Structure 1
Amino acid sequence: MSPPLVVVLNGPNLNLLGMREPDKYGTATLDDVEALCAEIAEGLGLAIDFRQTNGEGELITWVQECRGRAAGIVINPAGYTTTSIGLMDALLAVDLPVIEVHITNIHRREEFRQHSFVSKAATGVIAGLGVQGYALALEAMAGLIGAEDPDDEA
Protein backbone atom coordinates (compact mmCIF):
# COMPACT_ATOMS: atom_id res chain seq x y z
CA MET A 1 0.00 0.00 0.00
CA SER A 2 1.42 3.39 -0.94
CA PRO A 3 1.75 6.08 1.71
CA PRO A 4 -0.88 8.84 1.87
CA LEU A 5 0.02 11.86 -0.24
CA VAL A 6 0.19 15.31 1.31
CA VAL A 7 0.64 18.17 -1.12
CA VAL A 8 2.73 21.05 0.26
CA LEU A 9 2.01 24.24 -1.67
CA ASN A 10 3.86 27.54 -1.46
CA GLY A 11 2.72 30.86 -2.84
CA PRO A 12 4.41 33.94 -4.25
CA ASN A 13 7.91 35.06 -3.33
CA LEU A 14 8.66 31.98 -1.24
CA ASN A 15 11.20 31.08 -3.94
CA LEU A 16 13.19 33.99 -2.43
CA LEU A 17 13.20 32.47 1.05
CA GLY A 18 16.59 32.86 2.69
CA MET A 19 17.36 35.98 0.63
CA ARG A 20 14.23 38.09 1.15
CA GLU A 21 14.02 39.88 4.49
CA PRO A 22 15.98 37.28 6.48
CA ASP A 23 15.28 39.27 9.65
CA LYS A 24 11.60 38.28 9.25
CA TYR A 25 11.74 34.99 7.37
CA GLY A 26 15.08 33.54 8.46
CA THR A 27 17.95 32.21 6.36
CA ALA A 28 16.53 28.81 5.42
CA THR A 29 15.88 28.50 1.69
CA LEU A 30 12.86 26.89 0.07
CA ASP A 31 15.12 23.94 -0.80
CA ASP A 32 15.88 23.63 2.93
CA VAL A 33 12.16 23.64 3.68
CA GLU A 34 11.56 20.97 1.06
CA ALA A 35 14.32 18.80 2.56
CA LEU A 36 12.83 19.27 6.04
CA CYS A 37 9.39 18.30 4.78
CA ALA A 38 10.74 15.23 2.96
CA GLU A 39 12.52 14.06 6.11
CA ILE A 40 9.50 14.62 8.37
CA ALA A 41 7.11 13.03 5.86
CA GLU A 42 9.25 9.93 5.55
CA GLY A 43 9.31 9.53 9.32
CA LEU A 44 5.53 9.87 9.43
CA GLY A 45 4.88 7.43 6.59
CA LEU A 46 3.67 10.14 4.23
CA ALA A 47 4.49 10.90 0.62
CA ILE A 48 4.76 14.58 -0.28
CA ASP A 49 4.48 16.64 -3.43
CA PHE A 50 6.24 19.96 -2.68
CA ARG A 51 5.61 22.91 -5.03
CA GLN A 52 5.98 26.70 -5.25
CA THR A 53 4.49 29.18 -7.68
CA ASN A 54 4.19 32.93 -8.05
CA GLY A 55 0.98 32.52 -10.04
CA GLU A 56 -2.43 32.58 -8.38
CA GLY A 57 -4.11 30.62 -11.17
CA GLU A 58 -1.45 27.93 -11.09
CA LEU A 59 -1.81 27.61 -7.31
CA ILE A 60 -5.59 27.23 -7.65
CA THR A 61 -5.13 24.58 -10.37
CA TRP A 62 -2.76 22.64 -8.12
CA VAL A 63 -5.30 22.76 -5.29
CA GLN A 64 -8.03 21.48 -7.61
CA GLU A 65 -5.76 18.63 -8.77
CA CYS A 66 -5.59 17.41 -5.16
CA ARG A 67 -9.18 16.21 -5.28
CA GLY A 68 -9.11 12.44 -5.53
CA ARG A 69 -5.29 12.45 -5.52
CA ALA A 70 -4.14 13.69 -2.13
CA ALA A 71 -5.10 12.95 1.46
CA GLY A 72 -4.45 16.52 2.60
CA ILE A 73 -2.92 19.91 1.79
CA VAL A 74 -0.36 21.97 3.67
CA ILE A 75 -0.26 25.47 2.22
CA ASN A 76 1.70 28.64 2.77
CA PRO A 77 -0.36 30.96 0.59
CA ALA A 78 2.03 33.88 1.22
CA GLY A 79 0.69 37.06 -0.42
CA TYR A 80 -2.50 35.28 -1.56
CA THR A 81 -3.50 34.80 2.08
CA THR A 82 -5.14 38.20 2.23
CA THR A 83 -6.31 38.58 -1.35
CA SER A 84 -7.46 35.34 -2.94
CA ILE A 85 -11.08 34.40 -2.62
CA GLY A 86 -10.47 32.07 -5.58
CA LEU A 87 -7.87 30.16 -3.58
CA MET A 88 -10.22 29.93 -0.61
CA ASP A 89 -13.00 28.62 -2.86
CA ALA A 90 -10.69 26.00 -4.40
CA LEU A 91 -9.59 24.79 -0.95
CA LEU A 92 -13.22 24.51 0.14
CA ALA A 93 -14.13 22.65 -3.06
CA VAL A 94 -11.54 19.87 -2.70
CA ASP A 95 -13.03 18.76 0.63
CA LEU A 96 -9.69 17.77 2.16
CA PRO A 97 -7.99 18.64 5.44
CA VAL A 98 -5.97 21.84 4.96
CA ILE A 99 -3.30 23.24 7.24
CA GLU A 100 -2.30 26.84 6.59
CA VAL A 101 1.30 27.71 7.45
CA HIS A 102 2.95 31.10 7.86
CA ILE A 103 6.61 31.53 8.74
CA THR A 104 5.89 34.77 10.58
CA ASN A 105 3.06 35.50 12.97
CA ILE A 106 0.72 37.34 10.64
CA HIS A 107 -1.27 38.62 13.64
CA ARG A 108 1.72 40.63 14.86
CA ARG A 109 2.36 42.21 11.48
CA GLU A 110 0.73 45.02 9.53
CA GLU A 111 -3.04 45.13 9.81
CA PHE A 112 -3.60 44.24 6.14
CA ARG A 113 -1.70 40.94 6.69
CA GLN A 114 -3.85 39.88 9.63
CA HIS A 115 -6.92 38.74 7.69
CA SER A 116 -6.73 35.38 5.93
CA PHE A 117 -9.27 34.20 3.39
CA VAL A 118 -7.45 30.85 3.39
CA SER A 119 -8.18 30.36 7.11
CA LYS A 120 -11.87 30.04 6.24
CA ALA A 121 -10.99 26.78 4.46
CA ALA A 122 -8.26 25.60 6.83
CA THR A 123 -8.64 22.82 9.37
CA GLY A 124 -5.80 24.46 11.32
CA VAL A 125 -3.35 27.34 11.13
CA ILE A 126 0.30 27.46 12.22
CA ALA A 127 1.92 30.89 12.28
CA GLY A 128 5.04 32.46 13.71
CA LEU A 129 7.19 29.39 14.29
CA GLY A 130 9.49 29.85 11.33
CA VAL A 131 10.05 27.04 8.86
CA GLN A 132 9.51 24.56 11.72
CA GLY A 133 5.81 25.31 11.16
CA TYR A 134 5.94 23.08 8.09
CA ALA A 135 7.18 20.13 10.18
CA LEU A 136 4.44 20.74 12.73
CA ALA A 137 1.86 20.95 9.95
CA LEU A 138 2.94 17.58 8.55
CA GLU A 139 2.78 16.02 12.02
CA ALA A 140 -0.72 17.41 12.51
CA MET A 141 -1.78 16.27 9.04
CA ALA A 142 -0.56 12.73 9.75
CA GLY A 143 -2.87 12.69 12.75
CA LEU A 144 -5.79 14.12 10.80
CA ILE A 145 -5.56 11.57 7.98
CA GLY A 146 -4.67 8.63 10.20
CA ALA A 147 -1.27 7.95 8.68
CA GLU A 148 0.58 5.04 10.19
CA ASP A 149 4.10 5.56 11.48
CA PRO A 150 6.32 3.11 9.56
CA ASP A 151 8.41 2.59 12.72
CA ASP A 152 5.32 1.15 14.45
CA GLU A 153 5.03 -1.72 11.95
CA ALA A 154 6.58 -5.02 12.93
Structure 2
Amino acid sequence: MRRTRPVRTVPGAGKAARAATAPAPSARQGRAPRAPFVLLVVGLLCGGLVSLLLLNTILAQDSFRANELRNGNNQLRQKKESLKHQNALMDTPEWLAKNAENQGQEPDWDKPNVITPDRPASGTASDGSADVSADSRAASDGQTPAGQERVPGTGR
Protein backbone atom coordinates (compact mmCIF):
# COMPACT_ATOMS: atom_id res chain seq x y z
CA MET A 1 0.00 0.00 0.00
CA ARG A 2 1.33 3.40 -0.91
CA ARG A 3 1.44 5.95 1.83
CA THR A 4 0.87 9.54 1.16
CA ARG A 5 2.29 12.35 3.10
CA PRO A 6 0.07 13.74 5.80
CA VAL A 7 -2.05 16.53 4.57
CA ARG A 8 -1.80 19.81 6.38
CA THR A 9 -4.93 21.61 6.57
CA VAL A 10 -4.89 25.29 6.31
CA PRO A 11 -7.65 27.01 8.17
CA GLY A 12 -8.72 29.03 5.13
CA ALA A 13 -8.73 26.14 2.69
CA GLY A 14 -11.78 24.02 2.64
CA LYS A 15 -12.78 21.01 0.61
CA ALA A 16 -11.06 22.25 -2.52
CA ALA A 17 -7.58 21.87 -0.99
CA ARG A 18 -8.35 18.36 0.24
CA ALA A 19 -9.70 17.24 -3.12
CA ALA A 20 -6.58 18.43 -4.94
CA THR A 21 -4.21 16.45 -2.66
CA ALA A 22 -6.16 13.17 -2.70
CA PRO A 23 -4.93 10.58 -5.25
CA ALA A 24 -7.16 9.71 -8.13
CA PRO A 25 -8.95 6.38 -7.75
CA SER A 26 -8.22 5.31 -11.37
CA ALA A 27 -4.41 5.31 -10.80
CA ARG A 28 -4.77 2.79 -7.92
CA GLN A 29 -6.73 0.25 -9.97
CA GLY A 30 -3.98 -0.33 -12.61
CA ARG A 31 -1.37 -1.82 -10.21
CA ALA A 32 -1.52 -5.39 -8.85
CA PRO A 33 -1.10 -5.81 -5.10
CA ARG A 34 2.43 -6.82 -4.03
CA ALA A 35 1.63 -8.85 -0.91
CA PRO A 36 0.36 -12.05 -2.63
CA PHE A 37 3.38 -12.14 -4.97
CA VAL A 38 5.84 -11.68 -2.11
CA LEU A 39 4.11 -14.42 -0.12
CA LEU A 40 4.24 -16.72 -3.16
CA VAL A 41 7.99 -16.17 -3.63
CA VAL A 42 8.70 -16.64 0.08
CA GLY A 43 6.57 -19.81 0.10
CA LEU A 44 8.42 -21.24 -2.91
CA LEU A 45 11.79 -20.50 -1.33
CA CYS A 46 10.75 -22.14 1.94
CA GLY A 47 9.37 -25.17 0.09
CA GLY A 48 12.62 -25.54 -1.86
CA LEU A 49 14.65 -25.30 1.33
CA VAL A 50 12.54 -27.93 3.09
CA SER A 51 12.74 -30.29 0.09
CA LEU A 52 16.55 -29.88 -0.02
CA LEU A 53 16.77 -30.69 3.69
CA LEU A 54 14.64 -33.81 3.26
CA LEU A 55 16.69 -34.94 0.26
CA ASN A 56 19.91 -34.42 2.19
CA THR A 57 18.52 -36.41 5.14
CA ILE A 58 17.50 -39.33 2.91
CA LEU A 59 20.92 -39.40 1.24
CA ALA A 60 22.63 -39.35 4.63
CA GLN A 61 20.49 -42.29 5.78
CA ASP A 62 21.42 -44.24 2.64
CA SER A 63 25.07 -43.45 3.27
CA PHE A 64 24.85 -44.79 6.83
CA ARG A 65 23.08 -47.92 5.56
CA ALA A 66 25.76 -48.50 2.91
CA ASN A 67 28.44 -48.08 5.58
CA GLU A 68 26.73 -50.65 7.82
CA LEU A 69 26.47 -53.13 4.94
CA ARG A 70 30.13 -52.61 4.05
CA ASN A 71 31.15 -53.25 7.66
CA GLY A 72 28.96 -56.35 7.75
CA ASN A 73 30.64 -57.67 4.58
CA ASN A 74 34.07 -57.12 6.12
CA GLN A 75 33.07 -58.99 9.27
CA LEU A 76 31.69 -61.89 7.22
CA ARG A 77 34.88 -62.00 5.14
CA GLN A 78 36.99 -62.14 8.30
CA LYS A 79 34.80 -64.90 9.73
CA LYS A 80 35.14 -66.86 6.49
CA GLU A 81 38.93 -66.57 6.60
CA SER A 82 38.92 -67.65 10.26
CA LEU A 83 36.82 -70.71 9.45
CA LYS A 84 39.10 -71.57 6.52
CA HIS A 85 42.08 -71.36 8.87
CA GLN A 86 40.36 -73.60 11.43
CA ASN A 87 39.55 -76.15 8.73
CA ALA A 88 43.16 -76.12 7.53
CA LEU A 89 44.31 -76.74 11.11
CA MET A 90 41.90 -79.66 11.41
CA ASP A 91 43.51 -81.32 8.38
CA THR A 92 46.95 -81.49 9.97
CA PRO A 93 48.24 -84.92 11.08
CA GLU A 94 48.77 -83.67 14.65
CA TRP A 95 45.14 -82.62 15.01
CA LEU A 96 43.87 -85.80 13.38
CA ALA A 97 46.00 -87.95 15.71
CA LYS A 98 44.86 -85.99 18.76
CA ASN A 99 41.21 -86.22 17.70
CA ALA A 100 41.52 -89.97 17.06
CA GLU A 101 43.12 -90.41 20.48
CA ASN A 102 40.28 -88.45 22.11
CA GLN A 103 37.80 -90.81 20.44
CA GLY A 104 39.58 -93.84 21.86
CA GLN A 105 41.36 -94.94 18.70
CA GLU A 106 44.93 -96.14 18.83
CA PRO A 107 47.52 -96.50 16.07
CA ASP A 108 48.02 -100.00 14.68
CA TRP A 109 51.73 -100.54 15.09
CA ASP A 110 51.61 -103.97 13.43
CA LYS A 111 51.05 -102.55 9.94
CA PRO A 112 53.81 -100.65 8.13
CA ASN A 113 53.39 -96.88 7.82
CA VAL A 114 54.98 -96.67 4.36
CA ILE A 115 53.00 -97.75 1.35
CA THR A 116 55.01 -98.43 -1.80
CA PRO A 117 53.33 -98.69 -5.19
CA ASP A 118 55.31 -101.90 -6.01
CA ARG A 119 53.66 -104.14 -3.46
CA PRO A 120 50.30 -104.51 -1.77
CA ALA A 121 49.57 -102.28 1.22
CA SER A 122 49.24 -105.26 3.59
CA GLY A 123 52.88 -106.37 3.12
CA THR A 124 51.98 -110.04 2.74
CA ALA A 125 51.50 -112.26 -0.27
CA SER A 126 48.28 -114.09 -0.99
CA ASP A 127 49.61 -117.27 0.64
CA GLY A 128 50.31 -115.47 3.91
CA SER A 129 54.09 -115.37 3.55
CA ALA A 130 56.02 -112.15 3.53
CA ASP A 131 56.26 -110.58 0.09
CA VAL A 132 59.81 -109.37 -0.29
CA SER A 133 60.94 -108.79 -3.84
CA ALA A 134 63.81 -107.05 -5.60
CA ASP A 135 61.52 -104.15 -6.52
CA SER A 136 61.04 -103.15 -2.88
CA ARG A 137 64.54 -101.64 -2.59
CA ALA A 138 65.01 -98.03 -1.62
CA ALA A 139 65.66 -95.51 -4.40
CA SER A 140 69.22 -95.04 -3.15
CA ASP A 141 70.07 -98.69 -3.92
CA GLY A 142 70.79 -97.98 -7.57
CA GLN A 143 67.34 -97.06 -8.80
CA THR A 144 66.82 -93.83 -10.71
CA PRO A 145 63.85 -91.58 -10.04
CA ALA A 146 61.05 -91.81 -12.57
CA GLY A 147 61.59 -89.73 -15.69
CA GLN A 148 65.39 -89.48 -15.29
CA GLU A 149 68.06 -91.41 -17.14
CA ARG A 150 71.46 -92.48 -15.90
CA VAL A 151 74.40 -90.54 -17.24
CA PRO A 152 77.26 -92.95 -18.03
CA GLY A 153 80.50 -92.33 -16.19
CA THR A 154 79.03 -90.02 -13.52
CA GLY A 155 77.56 -92.58 -11.18
CA ARG A 156 74.30 -90.79 -11.35
Higher relative contact order (CA 8 A, sep 6+): 1
Q: Which has the higher helix share?
A: 2
Q: Which has the higher strand share?
A: 1
TM range, normalised to the smaller chain?
A: under 0.3
TM-score by length of 1: 0.16
Larger Rg: 2
